[in-house]
Chain A
Amino acid sequence: MATIIVEVMLKPEILDPQGQAVASALPRLGFNFAKSVRQGKRFEIVVDGEPTHTQLAEVEAAAEKLLSNPVIETYVVKVEK
């Protein structure tokens, strides 16, 4: 089994109020390391055996069509063994 990871992030120019809220909560807990925080989504897609080129292309298509909204988000597809 392998896991195909799709990570989705808001484009840098899109305001991320959730990330901003996290960034402002950190110092209240004494964590002062963050200059800024942006929050995204991670999908873990489990497949049987090694992912094939076809499967990866399909995941790529699904990431474009459903998992992300290309108007506001970008995505990265990776394989984890």
Chain B
Amino acid sequence: MRIGVVTFPGSLDDSSALRAIRLAGGEAVPLFHASDDLKEVQAVVLPGGFSYGDYLRCGAISRFAPIMESIIVAAEHGFPVLGICNGFQILTESHLLPGALIRNQDLHFICTDQPVTVENTNTPWTRGYTQGQRIVIPIKNGEGSYQASAETLAELEGEGRVVLRYADKNPNGSQNNIAGITNARGNVVGVMPHPEQAIESLTGPSEDGLIFFSSILQSLVAR
């Protein structure tokens, strides 16, 4: 099972995402922003970081990278995509996911181990969790406040498309405590917390994040 991870100029967590895929038992394939070649991967991860220095808006310039043109076309045909943190911002800028991520309510860069609830286990990235499962994975961002119009929020809630929701307290002013969402088809998922930073007890707060990566491998086998 070949899972790609895109490196943009300014990506930080690409090597962690590649490692998480390997640890889950997949073949991790590095992809580069300047090429439109998806190298026959069966799913792709857009990692965290500060692509293009977050200039203009987070994810705004990455959205026009050659690799994104290929990913956008593939995603519209059901290709599984996971955007983590900056990757989530790139997915909203690409209009593959609705809404936008803006500056955290208190303006702080927040780096903490965050309890979240898994609310949608029908996506290829979350099928290994149980509905309502509480997991602890790190958040580390300055612009993680999820905002969308009232109609979009109603649609997301009505269709069960909120994938992760902040538990206990809302860290950043996100509407409806939203930490992650999916598209109508369920193949594109964006999350602000970093599952790839919670895969081993030695370095993370838990091993809860590894299930994102084992889930996609299971989904691809099941196809």
Contact = CB atoms under 8 A, between A and B. Distances in A.
Chain A complexes with chain B = yes
Interface of A: 10, 14-15, 17-18, 21, 66-67, 69, 71-72
Given A21-B107, A71-B92, A15 B100 contact: no
A17 B99 contact: no
A59 B57 CA distance: 18
Contacts of B56: 66-67
A14 B106 CA distance: 15
B interface majority secondary structure: loop
A63 to B, nearest CB: 12
A62 to B, nearest CB: 11
Nearest to A39: B103
Interface residues of B, number: 20
A41 to B, nearest CB: 8
Given A15-B145, A15-B173, A66-B60, A71 B99 contact: yes
B148 A71 contact: yes
B143 to A, nearest CB: 10
A71 B100 contact: yes
A21 B145 CA distance: 16
Contact of B107 (A17, A71, A72): A17
